[in-house]
Amino acid sequence: SSNSGFYRYRPYDASGTIGSLANGGVLEMLKVKDVELADLRNPVAGDCHWVEWVRIDDPDQLPATPDVPIIPGLPPITFTGPSGPYAQGRAAGGAQFARLEGAWYHRGLIYFVDTSAGPVGSGAVWAYDPRQRSLTSIFVAQDPEAIDNPDNVTLSPFGLILLCEDNGRAQGARVIGLDADGDSFEFARNNVVIESALPDRPLIPPGDYRSFEFCGACFDPSGSVLFVNIQTPGITFAIQGPWKR
């Protein structure tokens, strides 16, 4: 759906201790300053907006549930439209995104991914600056070869942006990097084909797993090792640099 907003939560207890976030706080949705109901689903790289926040008064509010057909073989679907917080945020003028997913904090900026934004629905990457209260579009895919629906995002300590594709590709799902000029490049490709049963791994059947997504990418604290998973059948890789280059 295209019922995505970008939210922040301001806890009453900002100590960061265990349980502090559960003590309540204020949920807010991003709004483009002086623009009501901004539509950010089709940005242009380099777009910059000043932003503010609108309060979600009742985060637990459930939306009205429409009649949804029962699909044979699947659990009952109770709702497929906008959430209660999203509906409240839009009523207050909040901004609309296509399908927000991964986010990462790095050196004062929050990078987040709109998986199906852009002119061909292949994704975009935003950077939010809390100090300047600005939002900048730093990458917009012009075709699926550049990137095909990014999901998870991470940054190395040296500033390299890596994105895990969400869309399955028969020739191998990818991890895509963004260079200093904002262009994308292929960093890794899923080439996992298991031709026969694995010893001591009875739950992993043989098969072609190339279309399954990478996920959960993150660096160790030193920035020397990238850990990244292939979601199915469940494989974790540890990839060493040279990340400074």
Q: Are the C-beta atoms of 151 and 165 separated by less than 8 Å?
A: yes
Q: Are strands 235-240 and 124-129 parallel, antiparallel or unpaired?
A: unpaired
Q: What's this model's pTM, rounded to 2 decimal places?
A: 0.91
Average pLDDT over residues 59-82: 70
pLDDT (tens digit, 9 = 90+) per residue, 93-119?
Answer: 999 999 999 999 999 999 999 999 999
Alpha-carbon gap, residue 236 to 229, rounded angstroms: 4
pLDDT (tens digit, 9 = 90+) per residue, 127-184?
Answer: 999 999 999 999 999 999 999 999 999 999 889 999 999 887 888 999 999 988 889 9
Q: How far is CA 79 from CA 2, 62, 66, 115, 227, in A?
A: 14, 10, 7, 21, 35
The long-range contacts involving 43-46, CB below 8 angstroms and separated by at least 24 positions, are 43/117, 43/118, 43/124, 43/126, 43/137, 43/140, 44/137, 44/140, 45/137, 45/138, 45/139, 45/140, 45/182, 46/136, 46/137, 46/138
For residue 101, give every residue at least 6 positions away whose Cβ sits within 8 Å of its Cβ, in sequence order, or none. 112, 113, 114, 115, 150, 151, 152, 166
